[in-house]
Homo-oligomer: A and B are copies of this chain.
């Protein structure tokens, strides 16, 4: 098979992954939007969207496996395909977490509305920016942009910790709001996990571009 054809296939694989990323991004945004607007239809949409994400994930994986099997990619191409497989897994988990948010939100809509000290709009926007930036880094093979995603992770961890602390105080002062506050704690955690997956994506981009595995240097530094 001529080499140029292989490069076309790699480009196609990248396009498929970008479509997958768009679905993941949309899932997060819709889940947060559903929560802010208390919109059960949008919750349902996120759940249906999850099926589309799963289909897209399988599609990307299959193409990646096929390229590994039929071509014998070397060095940077091999690292790219392996990065695609990992990023694909993280995007699928972003879809899972978005579905968790939608399920929690649907529960909350059925309860009396309570004003709670948590900024889902801000957290969602931040997590969304982390995904967008990590995908941008992938598109441009830009390890420096990927680095900037790693730096953003502390901020959303902080937002999650603050929300967690304040929501516990709500439960202690107003046990009648326990369910709403608890659902909000879990949604806040999901948003923090989504940001973790964006961080994983950035790490995989760095692995692809620089050829170095920084995963656990990073986790040691963050300990």
Seen from chain A, the residues whose Cβ lies within 8 Å of a Cβ on chain B are 47, 51, 54-55, 57-58, 61-62, 65, 68-69, 72, 74-75, 78-79, 82, 85-86, 89, 168, 171-172, 175-176, 178-179, 182, 185, 213, 215-216, 219-220, 223
Chain A residues touching B, majority SS: helix
Considering the chains assembled together, what is the distance between the CA atoms of A182 and B178 in angstroms? 10
Across the two chains, which residue of chain B brings its CB closest to A54?
Answer: B216
Considering the chains assembled together, what is the distance between the CA atoms of A88 and B214 in angstroms? 16
Considering the chains assembled together, what is the distance between the CA atoms of A216 and B179 in angstroms? 31
Contact A65/B85 with A168-B178, A216-B58 known, Cβ cut-off 8 Å? no
- Which one of B54, B78, B85, B215 contacts A69 once the chains associate, using CB atoms below 8 Å? B78
Asked whether, in the complex, the Cβ of B78 is within 8 Å of the Cβ of A213, the reply is no
Asked whether, in the complex, the Cβ of A75 is within 8 Å of the Cβ of B69, the reply is yes
Considering the chains assembled together, what is the distance between the CA atoms of A124 and B142 in angstroms? 42
Q: How far is the CB of A48 from chain B (nearest CB, A)?
A: 10
- The 6 tightest CB contacts between A and B, nearest first, are A54-B216, A175-B175, A72-B72, A171-B178, A172-B178, A172-B175
Chain B residues whose C-beta falls within 8 Å of the C-beta of A220 in the assembled complex: 51, 54
Considering the chains assembled together, what is the distance between the CA atoms of A55 and B216 in angstroms? 7
Chain B residues whose C-beta falls within 8 Å of the C-beta of A171 in the assembled complex: 171, 175, 178, 182
Chain B residues whose C-beta falls within 8 Å of the C-beta of A69 in the assembled complex: 74-75, 78
Asked whether, in the complex, the Cβ of A213 is within 8 Å of the Cβ of B62, the reply is yes
Contact A54/B178 with A75-B69, A85-B85 known, Cβ cut-off 8 Å? no
Chain B residues whose C-beta falls within 8 Å of the C-beta of A62 in the assembled complex: 213
**What 19 new A-B contacts, CB under 8 Å, besides A51-B223, A61-B213?**
A47-B223, A54-B215, A54-B219, A54-B220, A55-B216, A57-B215, A58-B213, A65-B82, A68-B78, A69-B74, A82-B85, A85-B85, A171-B171, A171-B178, A171-B182, A172-B175, A172-B178, A182-B182, A182-B185
